[in-house]
């Protein structure tokens, strides 16, 4: 989608988190209108907010160290969670008769490459709002040390998404990373070494969205845009239902991707078999994703290790290294030829990463997203994801995603998970304690999800 690709860039810069209270107070009056106008969200609904108030009060009283582990179905989750912490938590605490010292907030952990698909302003603002930049897979001592230091001694709790990145789905809980539990155990060990007795707690936070613009006219408008961008003619007579049009778009896209990767990248795809067209579509999509990721891994000299999400993240961070060159940082003495080669390799990497952005979204799509009995909310989510798939085929990424329109969001706060108790019960068995925490976190996410009607 981008006509001009930048050349080689300086290394991704680690900016240490330093909370700027004056900046926070200056921008705080804009939080509510920004939530409404930019994210299209009216006042979030908070369920079991007493749990958040109680755990935040314990944190401020020095009784615990706290991690907010939030689900990540939408790219708007971190700023909306920040809004709840900054603007809604103080009011809810007052309502419950609990006094909290202000400001209330969290140290959000974010990917160091966020400026690859967001504005430079976001990259400037996040560390000044106490955000901690890290690499997901690369050895990153500065980021990890900052996380451990702030977890142990920081002014605010940590906030982290255990699903690792945006999952694009309200209705499905994806495998959780063990990183949150490991981080909590590191904190427990750091506290013990310092002779401190605070309890280490993980508080599950579930987010669930409901799209407001789901009338027949809304579906017709969105589907017409997708059909036009795909080059599809208007739907034939008798096939105007949203489900019929979604099926036609989905089948067209997977067939088109097979054609692109077989023609230009010599990939081979099995012929679809079986009567269940959705299951066949799922297999075909997975084969396309495998082809896309393999192309990038081959170009970067990577071995396919781990599941598809792990492979995507490793390939993405390798691609950043080709673009943000540590070996030529500050090298004003590069010859014109050397500079031109560096720029060319950076542009090649950006093109390679477009395969990763396509596979990133595709790896979260499932045959169940095309079921005929989806409610309006689930169907709209599928329509948005198919439109996103079209834009990623054109070279886009998550920032090019079509606007969701108006939506409501519900935050459900779970029961605190005591990492300290699990560590003590397992008598120092790190692996068992980690597994216990991850299992309990996943269980609570599933239970909170079932409580919210579509």
Bridge-partner residues for 408, per DSSP?
A: 210
Give the pair of three-digit tokens for residue 197. Answer: 């007795």
Cα 257 to Cα 230: distance, rounded to the nearest angstrom: 12
User: Which CATH number covers residue 134?
Assistant: 3.40.1130
* Full 3-state SS string of 57-119: HHHHCCCEEEEEEECCCCCCHHHHHHHHHHHHHHHHHHHCCCCCCCCCCCEEEEECCHHHCCC
Closest CA to 437 of 177, 197, 192, 208: 177
Task: Tell me what the mean pLDDT of segment 346-352 comes to.
Answer: 96
How far separated are the first and last CA of the chain, in Å rounded? 34
Least confident segment among 10-14, 90-94, 154-158, 166-170: 10-14
Please indicate, yes or no, if residue 11 is contained in any of the structural domains.
no
Q: Does residue 445 sit within a domain?
A: yes
For residue 167, what are the contacts with CB-CB under 8 A and spacing of at least 6? 71, 72, 73, 174, 364
303 and 431 in a single domain? The answer is no
Last residue of a domain, one of 362, 381, 400: 400
Residue 1 belongs to a domain: no
Task: For 87-146, write each residue's pLDDT tens digit.
Answer: 999 999 999 999 999 899 999 999 888 877 777 888 889 999 999 999 888 878 888 899
Q: What is the CA radius of gyration of the chain?
A: 23
Query: What integer pLDDT is reported at residue 244 of this predicted model?
Result: 94
Predicted pLDDT at 329 = 65
pLDDT at 331: 59
Q: Are residues 225 and 316 in the same domain?
A: yes
Residues 422 and 342 in one domain: no
Q: Per-residue pLDDT averaged across 201-216, rounded?
A: 96
Q: What percent of the chain has pLDDT over 90?
A: 77
Q: Answer yes or no: do 221 and 235 share one domain.
A: yes
DSSP bridge partners of 159: 68, 108
Residue 370 confidence (pLDDT) = 94
- Per-residue pLDDT at 238: 77
Segment holding 354, helix H or strand E: helix 336-362
Q: Is the pLDDT of residue 382 over 60?
A: yes
Distance CA 371, CA 54 (A): 41
Name the residue among 131, 122, 144 with its Cα closest to residue 17. 131
Residues 231 and 171 in one domain: no
Q: What are the start-end ranges of the E strands in 194-258?
A: 199-211
Q: Is residue 2 part of a domain?
A: no
With a cut of 90, say whether residue 424 has pLDDT above it.
no
Q: Give the three-class secondary structure for 203.
A: strand
Q: Quote the Cα angle for 274-279-283, to 5°.
A: 95
Q: Output the CA–CA distances (angstroms, integers) from residue 204 to 70, 422, 439, 454, in the order listed.
A: 6, 16, 12, 21
425 is a domain residue? yes
Rounded distance, CA 214 to CA 7, Å? Answer: 42
Write out pLDDT tens, residues 242-266: 999 999 999 999 999 999 999 999 9
* 35-52 pLDDT tens trace: 999 899 989 999 999 999
Give yes or no: residues 396 and 424 share one domain.
no
205 secondary structure, DSSP code? E
What is the Cβ-side half-sphere exposure of residue 206, based on CA atoms within 13 angstroms? 26
Dihedral pair phi/psi, residue 66, rounded to 5°: -125, 140
The pLDDT-based confidence of 2 (bands split at 50, 70, 90) is low
pLDDT of residue 120: 81
**Alpha carbons 128 and 131: distance in angstroms, whole number:** 7
Q: Tell me the residue range of the domain where 279 lies.
A: 216-400
Q: Give dist(CA 56, CA 66) in Å, integer.
A: 8
Do 385 and 239 lie in a common domain? yes
Position 164 scores a pLDDT of 87
pLDDT band per the 50, 70, 90 thresholds, residue 416: very high
Are 70 and 159 contacting, i.e. CB atoms less than 8 angstroms apart?
A: yes
**174 closest CA partner among 71, 79, 316, 70:** 71
Q: Are residues 104 and 199 in the same domain?
A: yes
The answer on 189 and 85 residing in a single domain is yes
Task: Please indicate, yes or no, whether residues 48 and 168 belong to a single structural domain of this protein.
Answer: yes
Number of domains in the chain: 2
- Residue 3 predicted with pLDDT over 60: no
Q: Is residue 7 part of a domain?
A: no
pLDDT tens-digit readout, 4-16:
788 999 888 888 9
Q: Which residue, of 400, 416, 437, is where some domain finishes?
A: 400
Global confidence as pTM: 0.93
4 domain residue, yes or no: no
Token duo for residue 419: 């990492």
pLDDT at res. 426: 80
Q: Are 15 and 143 in contact (CB under 8 A)?
A: no
Phi, psi of 253 (to 5 degrees): -65, -45
Task: Give the pLDDT band of residue 300 (cuts 50, 70, 90).
Answer: very high
Mean of per-residue pLDDT scores for the chain: 92
Q: How many helices (H) and strands (E) are present in the chain, helices listed first? A: 16, 8
Place of tokens 């079932």: 450
Residues 197 and 301 in one domain: no
Asked if 289 and 419 sit in the same domain, the reply is: no
pLDDT in tens, 428-453: 688 899 999 999 999 999 999 988 87
Is residue 13 assigned to a domain?
no
List CB contacts of 95: < 8 A, sequence separation 6 or more. none
Residue 330, pLDDT > 70, answer no
Look-up of token digits 């991850």: 438
């Amino acid at each position: 989608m981008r006509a001009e690709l930048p050349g080689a860039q300086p290394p991704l810069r680690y900016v240490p988190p330093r909370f700027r209270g004056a900046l926070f107070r200056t921008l705080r009056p804009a939080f509510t209108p920004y939530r409404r106008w930019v994210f299209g969200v009216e006042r979030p609904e908070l369920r079991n907010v007493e749990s958040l108030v109680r755990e935040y009060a314990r944190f401020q009283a020095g009784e615990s160290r706290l991690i907010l582990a939030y689900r990540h179905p939408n790219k708007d989750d971190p700023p909306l969670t920040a809004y709840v912490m900054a603007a809604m938590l103080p009011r809810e605490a007052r309502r419950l008769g609990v006094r909290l010292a202000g400001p209330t907030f969290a140290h959000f952990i974010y990917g160091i490459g966020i400026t690859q698909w967001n504005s430079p302003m976001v990259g400037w603002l996040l560390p000044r709002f106490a955000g901690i930049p890290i690499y997901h897979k690369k050895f990153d001592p500065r980021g990890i040390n900052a996380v451990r230091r702030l977890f142990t001694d920081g002014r605010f709790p940590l906030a982290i998404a255990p699903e690792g990145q945006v999952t694009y789905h309200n209705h499905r809980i994806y495998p959780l990373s063990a990183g949150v539990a490991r981080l909590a155990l590191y904190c427990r060990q750091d506290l013990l070494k310092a002779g401190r007795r605070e309890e280490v707690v993980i508080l599950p936070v579930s987010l669930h969205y409901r799209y407001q613009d789901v009338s027949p006219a809304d579906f017709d408008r969105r589907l017409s845009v997708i059909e036009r961008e795909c080059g599809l003619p208007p739907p034939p007579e008798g096939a105007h239902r949203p489900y019929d049009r979604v099926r036609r778009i989905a089948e067209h896209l997977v067939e088109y991707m097979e054609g692109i990767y077989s023609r230009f990248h010599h990939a081979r795809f099995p012929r679809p078999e079986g009567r269940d067209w959705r299951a066949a579509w799922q297999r075909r999509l997975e084969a396309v994703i495998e082809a896309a990721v393999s192309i990038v891994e081959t170009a970067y000299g990577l071995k396919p290790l781990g599941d598809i999400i792990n492979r995507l993240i490793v390939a993405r961070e390798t691609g950043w290294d080709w673009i943000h060159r540590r070996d030529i940082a500050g090298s004003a003495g590069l010859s014109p030829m050397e500079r031109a080669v560096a720029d060319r390799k950076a542009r090649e990497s950006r093109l390679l990463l477009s395969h990763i952005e396509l596979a990133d979204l595709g790896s979260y799509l499932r045959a169940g997203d095309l079921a005929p009995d989806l409610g309006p909310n689930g169907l709209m989510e599928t329509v948005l994801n198919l439109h996103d798939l079209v834009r990623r085929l054109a070279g886009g990424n998550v920032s090019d995603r079509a606007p969701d329109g108006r939506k409501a969001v519900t935050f459900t706060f779970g029961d605190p998970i005591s990492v300290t108790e699990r560590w003590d019960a397992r008598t120092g068995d790190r692996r068992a304690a980690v597994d216990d925490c991850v299992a309990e976190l996943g269980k609570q996410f599933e239970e909170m999800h079932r409580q919210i009607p579509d």
